[in-house]
Amino acid sequence: MLRMKSIHKRFPGVHALKGVDFDLNSGECVALLGENGAGKSTIIKVLGGAIQPEEGIIQIDGKERRFSEPLESLEAGIAIIYQEFNLVPSLSAAENIFLGIEPSDFGWVREAEQNRRAMETFQRIGAEIQPATSCEKLTVAQKQLVEISKALVRDAKILVMDEPSAALTEKEVNQLYRVVEDLKRKGIGIIYVSHRLEEVQRLADRAVVMRDGERVAELTRKTMSKGKIIELMVGRSMASEFPVHIRKVGKVRLRAKKLKCGQRVKGVSLEIRAGEILALTGLVGAGRTETARLLFGADSLEEGEVELDGRKLDLCNPRKAIRSGICLLSEDRKEQGLILGLSVQENFGLPNLDRFSRSGWVNHKGERESFHGFVDKLQIKISNSSQLASQLSGGNQQKIVLAKWLERNAEILIFDEPTRGIDVGAKFEIYQWINQLADQGKGILMISSELPEVLGMSDRILVMKDGKVVGDVQNGSGTTQEKLMEMAIGEKISIS
Amino acid sequence: MMKSLKALFSSDYGMLGALLFLCVFFSLVTYEQQQPVGDMGAKILVEKIREKFSEPGSVLIMGKKGTDGKAFVNGLKRRLNTDGWEVKQDLTGGPPELSKALRNTFENNSSVDLLACEQFFARLPMLENLENTSSLGKKMLVMSPASYGWPNFLKTSNLLNVANQIAVIAILAIGMTLVIITAGIDLSVGSLIAFSAVFASWTIREWTGGTEASVLGIILGCLISLMACGGLGLFSGLMIACYGVPPFVASLGMMMIASGLAYMLSGGLSIYQLPESFDWLGRGDDLAGIPNAVVLMILLYFFAHLLMSRTTAGRYVYAVGGNSEAARLSGVPVKRILLCVYAASGTLAGLGGIVMASQFRSGDPKYGLMYELYVIAAVVVGGTSLSGGKGKVFGTLIGAFIIAVIQNGMNLTGVQSYTQKVVLGMVLLGAVLLDMLKKRGWRFSS
């Protein structure tokens, strides 16, 4: 029914999809698997018309289609349910379902019919929702069912679900499984993206595994063992991808005790030693980034305390944290690391203006000289220092961020996904810098979902799951990706 | 051609081209024969007289009523005296005075070689007869300064007028530029003009001596009012920075509060019990004939430009507007910056109010009505993006002048004030459209 052929998509600095093939038959559920950054969400976005591939063809029922915007894809019968729902909170369930296709006479909505048809759809999938309830009063599971109903009302033939079970309770998940199986029987093709391997085994007829923007394997129901899947997801040679290094680990520099904040961080304690690279890994949503933000003062602590070199820190905002010598290279460079509309030099100077100014007046010359020093040292490719940060590739942007914190001479550096969206060459350079900083006796915390990176770089590895640290391993010969994945997923797996 | 146009509009001060174009346009449209007046007229006429007469003689000088006429007469008298002329009589007035003076001269049988007068008199039929029928056989010449071609728009007085009229809006627009660069908006500035004017006048009337107030009393009254306006701005800032109220709403509330306070204080009437020296800021022109308000405006713009381009505070303002979360994570004190920016906007609005009160020598709660819209228009036309993070203070000055020049030019060419509003609205839309095009790289659809 659906066939995607050699889809290519490039973003600045990264080749996100390298000729991916994908097909789907009606009444079939295909799981799409892969690590974070493997290209799953990119391919979903291509399918949904949110982004356009440079090469490749999409066929639906044998006809070639091209989606330049989401609406066109919807009209072609593809419905996508993202993790963040696309519902208008203030409208009722029925109104949301029929948004844009209301049954109406000359602009007057036939409300009774709308509610009746919504009710019918709900019954079809066994949902117990009153059509007139406003969406903000629904639970997450109910909202998901409204999204599914929305797709059904629009006669969707292909339903894409991105991590549908992530925020559901056990009972709700079981209902979701029933709905999915029901939809399959009705001839709807389902693409199911998930990290939970057990539900993949239960629901999927086939599983497509992606890695680094490529489709690496397709498993059938019979060959679909957890061990096999994990092996395929992470399987990558680590040779020469990381600089070789021997480190000397010193005394404890940063000590965090029982950090707590909301549902995402539930009592995390950790120690970062001088000269050590501590890796923090786990699945998306495990609370890694949230922990880093707490250490940096970006979110306020509910409980817990942080000490640097035995001194207790007051981390009420990032400004204080920066002053005390902690810095964060956030995972989202474009939204949090850089101000894209400012020049590279201004971005570089922003946290360092106290050094480049005297009683409020900026010393442009000093700033420029220092900036050019880092441009040479880090080999940042810019045309001039007033170039806008938005015009750089991912790797160079990351180097600008790195430069601004190097100038700061911070004691603790937190790298959140330091190499996401960066090409291989720049990756290696950034690894070298991380190593060099560790050698200078700084404390390094590196958050990464890429297990090879974790194993290749770190001295010690913390694994997080559901806001807690579930594993603390010294990185040695016995540590494998499979072992880390087991801890992150939280189930025992036997490697076949 | 298109390329160079694009390049012009893409630069930081892209609107400078538009301003120059408008100036040239209105200069051409308002080109007329000008009558030299005042000292200028005297100077031109003396040159002419020196060419005509090799020897000095006796002269009768006639000027129109008013300061210009007086300046003409005095200037001419001084110059001709130094040349050795005998000034029989010099006077200002209308045709009756002139004919009386002439009759006197003829009756006394005294000879006058020259009647030096403004052009207005030279065209009177009475004088044409005079030249032909000289009773004394000796001809009396009538001379007046020759007219010259010059655009009304480009007259010094008109240009100063343009600057003076926009001064209040331009001063407010500095604060608005800062606010808009932080991706906010401040609707309260118009009402703050009224509040500041009323509060300053009220303070002077009630506390520091009313019409008898000393200079110190005036300054004190103005300072108290400025601080009050800064405080109100700070309050809006507090709502926005600390409680997350959208800037539009917070400043809309403040707009009503400030306007209401102005009416409460004044009882709805204008407060005019102010000393004459209160005029100094609004009507004085101490520096080479440039109005004091314009001098103040220029000083403020230079200061604001330095602040935005050279200080850490300026850099932080751009950073907050560009991406407040990224700025916070880079250690920028985001809340403090927002508070300062709104307080500055309030204070500058207060200053605008004081200039206005000084111009009219009274404080009235109806001042500044709709000014916030003109101020926002000036900022937007000046190239500051409403989405924040981008904009230049001098761009705003250009924007303010574009608005002033269009208004002035249309006044000079006799366009109705209703039509003027339509044109100004279209200019605003055009400027925003240009800004959008610039961002999208000159493509029309997104």
- Domain containing residue B360: CATH number: 1.10.3470
User: Hey, are the CB atoms on A336 and B331 less than 8 Å from each other?
Assistant: no
**What is the DSSP code (8-state) at residue B146?**
P
Give the orientation angle of helix B125-132 with respect to helix B95-107, to 10 degrees. 20
User: Hey, are the CB atoms on B390 and A341 less than 8 Å from each other?
Assistant: yes
Contact B198, B262 (CB under 8 A): yes
Task: Give alpha helix (H) positions in B30-133.
Answer: 38-52, 67-83, 95-107, 119-122, 125-132
Contact A52, A67 (CB under 8 A): yes
Most confident of A33-37, B389-393, B434-438: B389-393
Which strands, in side-by-side order, build the sheet including A55-60?
A14-24, A2-11, A55-60, A63-65
User: Hey, are the CB atoms on B318 and A330 less than 8 Å from each other?
Assistant: no
Environment class of B373 (CB within 10 Å of its CB; exposed 0-12, middle 13-18, buried 19+): middle
Q: B321 to chain A, minimum CA–CA distance in Å?
A: 9
Q: B303 to chain A, minimum CA–CA distance in Å?
A: 13
Confidence of residue B184 (pLDDT cuts 50, 70, 90): very high
Of A309, A315, A245, the C-alpha closest to A274 is: A309
**Averaged over A5-20, what is the pLDDT?**
82
A338 contacts on B by Cβ (under 8 Å): 323, 326
Give the orientation angle of helix B156-181 with respect to helix B371-381, to 10 degrees. 80
Of B318, B11, B338, the C-alpha closest to B181 is: B318
Q: Would B44 be classed as within a structural domain?
A: yes
Residues A192 and A273 in one domain: no
Considering B103, B122, B143, which residue would you say is the last residue of a domain?
Answer: B143
First and final CA of chain A: distance in angstroms? 33
Q: How many domains does chain B contain in total?
A: 2
Q: Would A27 be classed as within a structural domain?
A: yes
Q: How far is CA A418 from the centre of its chain?
A: 13
CB atoms within 10 A of CB B3: 7
Residues A161 and A306 in one domain: no
**What is the DSSP code (8-state) at residue A287?**
S
**Averaged over A177-200, what is the pLDDT?**
86
By the CB < 8 Å criterion, does B389 face chain A?
yes
Q: What is the pLDDT of residue A286?
A: 83
Q: B255 to chain A, minimum CA–CA distance in Å?
A: 30
In sign, the C-alpha dihedral spanning A472, A478, A479, A485 is negative
Residues A62 and A123 in one domain: yes
User: Hey, are the CB atoms on A341 and B389 less than 8 Å from each other?
Assistant: yes
* Interchain CB contacts (distance < 8 Å): A and B: 80
Of A270, A272, A301, A315, the C-alpha closest to A443 is: A272
C-alpha angle B201/B207/B209, rounded to 5°? 80
User: Hey, are the CB atoms on B315 and A349 less than 8 Å from each other?
Assistant: yes
Q: Would B385 be classed as within a structural domain?
A: yes
User: Hey, are the CB atoms on A340 and B322 less than 8 Å from each other?
Assistant: yes
C-alpha angle B261/B266/B267, rounded to 5°? 95
Q: Report the alpha-carbon distance of residue A189 to residue B35 in Å, rounded.
A: 88
B389 contacts on A by Cβ (under 8 Å): 339, 341-342
By the CB < 8 Å criterion, does B315 face chain A?
yes
Structure tokens at B431: 């400027």
Beta A108-109 vs A443-447: how paired, if at all? Answer: unpaired
Q: Which residues of A touch B (CB under 8 A)?
A: 296, 298, 317-319, 322-323, 328, 330, 335-342, 346-347, 349-351, 353-354, 357, 360-362, 364, 404
C-alpha angle A195/A197/A201, rounded to 5°? 135
Per the structure, the complete domain to which residue B66 belongs is given by: 38-143
Q: Would A419 be classed as within a structural domain?
A: yes
Structure tokens at B154: 């480009």
Element (H, E) at B20: helix B15-29
Q: Report the alpha-carbon distance of residue A28 to residue A293 in Å, rounded.
A: 41
Percent with pLDDT over 70 in chain A: 95
Contact A272, A435 (CB under 8 A): no
Considering B143, B177, B209, which residue would you say is the last residue of a domain?
Answer: B143
DSSP B339-364: HHHHHHHHHHHHHHHHHHHHHHTSB-
Residues B231 and B86 in one domain: no
Q: Would B1 be classed as within a structural domain?
A: no
Q: What is the pLDDT of residue B376?
A: 93
**Averaged over A38-43, what is the pLDDT?**
82
Considering A208, A234, A260, which residue would you say is the last residue of a domain?
Answer: A234
Residues B63 and B209 in one domain: no
Tens-place pLDDT, residues B340-388? 999 999 999 999 999 999 999 999 999 999 899 999 999 998 888 888 8
Is the model more confident about B265 or about A381?
B265
Residues A458 and A384 in one domain: yes
Confidence of residue B202 (pLDDT cuts 50, 70, 90): very high
Q: How many domains does chain A contain in total?
A: 2
**What is the DSSP code (8-state) at residue A335?**
I
User: Hey, are the CB atoms on A319 and B332 less than 8 Å from each other?
Assistant: yes
Residues B127 and B272 in one domain: no
User: Hey, are the CB atoms on B330 and A360 less than 8 Å from each other?
Assistant: no
Confidence of residue A467 (pLDDT cuts 50, 70, 90): confident
Amino acid (one-letter) located at A435: N
Q: Report the alpha-carbon distance of residue B322 to residue A149 in Å, rounded.
A: 40
- Residue A188's SS3 state is coil
Q: Would B94 be classed as within a structural domain?
A: yes
Comparing A14-23, A166-175, A338-347, the range with the smallest average pLDDT is: A166-175
A364 contacts on B by Cβ (under 8 Å): 310
Backbone Cα Rg of chain A: 25
> B306, B330, B334: which to substitute to probe chain A, counting the most A Cβ within 10 Å?
B330
Residues A287 and A226 in one domain: no
Q: Report the alpha-carbon distance of residue A414 to residue A409 in Å, rounded.
A: 13
Residues B130 and B232 in one domain: no
Q: What is the pLDDT of residue A496?
A: 38
Contact B283, B359 (CB under 8 A): yes
Residues B328 and B179 in one domain: yes
Q: How far is CA A253 from the centre of its chain?
A: 29
Query: How much helix, strand and coil, in percent to the nearest 5, is found in chain A?
Result: 35, 25, 35
Residues B137 and B225 in one domain: no
Residue with tokens 């108290």: B224
Q: Quick one: closest CA in B to A354, which residue?
A: B312
User: Hey, are the CB atoms on A336 and B318 less than 8 Å from each other?
Assistant: no
Q: Would A211 be classed as within a structural domain?
A: yes
Q: B246 to chain A, minimum CA–CA distance in Å?
A: 20
Residue burial A240-271, b: 16+ Cβ < 10 Å; e: rest: eebeebeeeeeebbbbbeebebeebbbebebb
Comparing A195-199, A466-470, B46-50, the range with the smallest average pLDDT is: A195-199
Comparing A204-218, B50-64, B175-189, B225-239, the range with the smallest average pLDDT is: B50-64
What is the domain-level CATH number for residue B103?
3.40.50.2300
Give the orientation angle of helix B215-243 with respect to helix B189-206, to 10 degrees. 140
Considering A182, A199, A234, which residue would you say is the last residue of a domain?
Answer: A234
Environment class of A225 (CB within 10 Å of its CB; exposed 0-12, middle 13-18, buried 19+): middle
| Cβ neighbours for B202, distance < 8 A, ≥ 6 positions apart | B265, B266, B271, B363
Considering B97, B122, B143, which residue would you say is the last residue of a domain?
Answer: B143
Q: B430 to chain A, minimum CA–CA distance in Å?
A: 23
Q: What is the pLDDT of residue A49?
A: 86
Considering A182, A200, A234, which residue would you say is the last residue of a domain?
Answer: A234
Phi/psi class of residue A309: alpha, beta or left (left: φ > 0; alpha: ψ in -120 to 50)?
Answer: left
- The minimal CB distance from B312 to the residues A319, A322, A357 is found for A357
Nearest 5°: phi and psi at A103? Answer: -70, 125
Q: Would A496 be classed as within a structural domain?
A: no
**Averaged over A377-385, what is the pLDDT?**
86
User: Hey, are the CB atoms on A339 and B323 less than 8 Å from each other?
Assistant: yes
User: Hey, are the CB atoms on A298 and B328 less than 8 Å from each other?
Assistant: yes
Residues B164 and B284 in one domain: yes
What is the domain-level CATH number for residue A374?
3.40.50.300
Q: How many secondary structure helices (H) and strands (E) does chain A include?
A: 16, 24
Q: Would A62 be classed as within a structural domain?
A: yes
Residues A344 and A460 in one domain: yes
Residues shown for chain A: 496
Residues A230 and A300 in one domain: no
Of A238, A280, A226, A185, the C-alpha closest to A33 is: A226
By the CB < 8 Å criterion, does B77 face chain A?
no
Residues B132 and B235 in one domain: no
Most confident of A21-35, A162-176, B293-307: B293-307
B331 contacts on A by Cβ (under 8 Å): 318-319, 322-323, 350-351
User: Hey, are the CB atoms on B311 and A360 less than 8 Å from each other?
Assistant: yes
Element (H, E) at A361: strand A361-362
Q: B384 to chain A, minimum CA–CA distance in Å?
A: 13
Q: Would B418 be classed as within a structural domain?
A: yes
Task: Give alpha helix (H) positions in B267-333.
Answer: 280-283, 292-310, 312-322, 324-329
Q: Would A242 be classed as within a structural domain?
A: no
Q: Report the alpha-carbon distance of residue A449 to residue A452 in Å, rounded.
A: 9
- Residue A477's SS3 state is coil
> A289, A300, A316, A319: which to substitute to probe chain B, counting the most B Cβ within 10 Å?
A319
Q: What is the pLDDT of residue A237?
A: 47
Residues B247 and B276 in one domain: yes
User: Hey, are the CB atoms on B326 and A360 less than 8 Å from each other?
Assistant: no
Q: What is the pLDDT of residue B128?
A: 67
Assess whether pLDDT exceeds 90 at residue A372. Answer: yes
Query: What's the complex ipTM?
Result: 0.75
Tens-place pLDDT, residues A219-270? 888 888 777 777 777 665 444 567 777 777 888 899 998 888 888 888 889 9
Residues A212 and A293 in one domain: no
- Residue B286's SS3 state is coil
Per the structure, the complete domain to which residue A391 belongs is given by: 252-489
Q: Would B368 be classed as within a structural domain?
A: yes
Residues A323 and A435 in one domain: yes
Assess whether pLDDT exceeds 50 at residue A77. Answer: yes
Is the model more confident about A56 or about B289?
A56
Q: Would B445 be classed as within a structural domain?
A: no
Q: What is the pLDDT of residue A494?
A: 47
**Mean pLDDT computed over every residue of chain A:** 85
Residues A42 and A101 in one domain: yes
List of long-range contacts for A438-441, beta carbons under 8 Å, 24+ apart = A438/A247, A438/A275, A438/A276, A438/A277, A439/A247, A439/A275, A441/A250, A441/A274, A441/A275
Residue with tokens 């002053």: A323
C-alpha angle A31/A35/A40, rounded to 5°? 55
Q: Would A65 be classed as within a structural domain?
A: yes
Q: B436 to chain A, minimum CA–CA distance in Å?
A: 15
Q: What is the pLDDT of residue A495?
A: 44
Contact A29, A42 (CB under 8 A): no
B312 contacts on A by Cβ (under 8 Å): 353-354, 357, 360-362
Element (H, E) at A75: helix A70-75
Tens-place pLDDT, residues A125-154? 888 888 888 888 888 888 888 998 998 888
Tens-place pLDDT, residues A280-289? 988 777 888 8
User: Hey, are the CB atoms on B326 and A335 less than 8 Å from each other?
Assistant: yes
User: Hey, are the CB atoms on B328 and A342 less than 8 Å from each other?
Assistant: no
Residues A286 and A166 in one domain: no
Residues B136 and B64 in one domain: yes
Q: Report the alpha-carbon distance of residue B208 to residue B224 in Å, rounded.
A: 11
Assess whether pLDDT exceeds 70 at residue A377. Answer: yes
User: Hey, are the CB atoms on B318 and A346 less than 8 Å from each other?
Assistant: yes
Q: What is the pLDDT of residue B256?
A: 95
Q: Quick one: closest CA in B to A389, which residue?
A: B322
Contact B400, B169 (CB under 8 A): yes
CB atoms within 10 A of CB A167: 14
| Cβ neighbours for A304, distance < 8 A, ≥ 6 positions apart | A256, A257, A258, A259, A260, A267, A268, A269, A294
- Residue B184's SS3 state is coil
Residues B328 and B430 in one domain: yes
Environment class of B287 (CB within 10 Å of its CB; exposed 0-12, middle 13-18, buried 19+): exposed
Residues A219 and A354 in one domain: no
Q: Would B446 be classed as within a structural domain?
A: no
Assess whether pLDDT exceeds 80 at residue A412. Answer: yes
Residues B195 and B320 in one domain: yes
> B328, B329, B332, B340: which to substitute to probe chain A, counting the most A Cβ within 10 Å?
B329
Tens-place pLDDT, residues B84-138? 887 877 888 888 887 787 777 777 766 777 777 777 777 777 776 665 555 554 5
Backbone Cα Rg of chain B: 28
Q: Would A247 be classed as within a structural domain?
A: no
